[in-house]
Amino acid sequence: MKPVDLLAAVAVNLAWGLNFAIAKLGVGELPPMLLIGLRYGLTALLLFPWLRRWPRGQFRQILAVSFTLGFLHFSLMITGLQGVDSSIAAIAVQAQVPFAAILAFLFFRDAIGWRRAAGIALALGGIALIAGQPTGQSDPLSLAMVIGASLVWAVSSIQVKKLGSIDTLVLNAWIAALATPQLLVGSLIFEGDRWASVPDAGFWGWAAVVYMAVAVTVFGYGLWYRLLLRYPVTTVMPLSLLAPTFGVLCGIFLLGEPASPEKLLGAAVTLSGVAIVILAPRPKQTGTAA
């Protein structure tokens, strides 16, 4: 990988890792579903040129993805973040990697193999270690919501895979446009009593909206997909382990979250397992897709 592309990959993962700390600050000032709804609304505006490309024959599937990923995943994730340290959330959300591997086996018969199975067990074991030793502001229910969000993300990855070929910016634009009204209506129903305090939201509430739309989605995913087109997946994907690493460091050094031995050990075990799942060679298919 060229040095400039390696620097770009590091910058993207730094943006994604920092997102956990910024979202934690933002959700302290804006209701979680409203925060994500505003983020997606801004994203849809920024990606408006790609909304002009109608996803012919794929609209219903994209609508389903917008509910699973845009509404359900982020509602669970950001709501859970209210009650869990951002550094722990950065690790717990990595459960999406083993969950995705398991679902790919169930739906597409993507063989797992013993190495990836060991990585899945190791990753889930590390998350269980973190769950058994909550620290700081973390509580079990909030952590369960973050892990549940990871499972929902894995489901959405199966939905996206079934979509087939589609431009990633078109997909992101339509997910944002379709998820925005879902989130705003959901916020009105479940968080309506907090809307009166929205005008009093401070800098971090609005900064989180802008950061998540611009840095995380438009810049982050746009640049990441370009790297995936330019280099083999086996070259690019291992670099994604930098995101949770940066997430833990940002939580500890920027937000002052505790760096307990249990947290650090759980993070190391989880990331080791995720690395094995990503890097282990995939065996041949065991059958046809379901």
In the chain, alpha helices (H): 3-26, 32-46, 48-51, 59-65, 74-81, 86-92, 96-108, 113-132, 140-163, 168-191, 203-211, 222-230, 233-236, 242-254, 261-279
CA-to-CA distance for 211 and 93, rounded, in angstroms? Answer: 19
What's the pLDDT at 135? 52
pLDDT under 70: residue ranges of the chain: 132-138, 282-290
Percent of the chain surpassing pLDDT 70: 94
Asked whether residue 289 is domain-assigned, the answer is no
What's the pLDDT at 241? 87
Tell me how many domains the chain contains. 1
Quick count: other Cβ atoms within 10 Å of Cβ 73? 25
What's the pLDDT at 290? 34
Domain span holding position 100? 3-279
Asked whether residue 290 is domain-assigned, the answer is no
Asked whether residue 288 is domain-assigned, the answer is no
Q: In terms of Cα–Cα distance, which of 84, 12, 22, 71 is closest to 210? A: 22
Identify the DSSP state of 170.
H
Asked whether residue 284 is domain-assigned, the answer is no
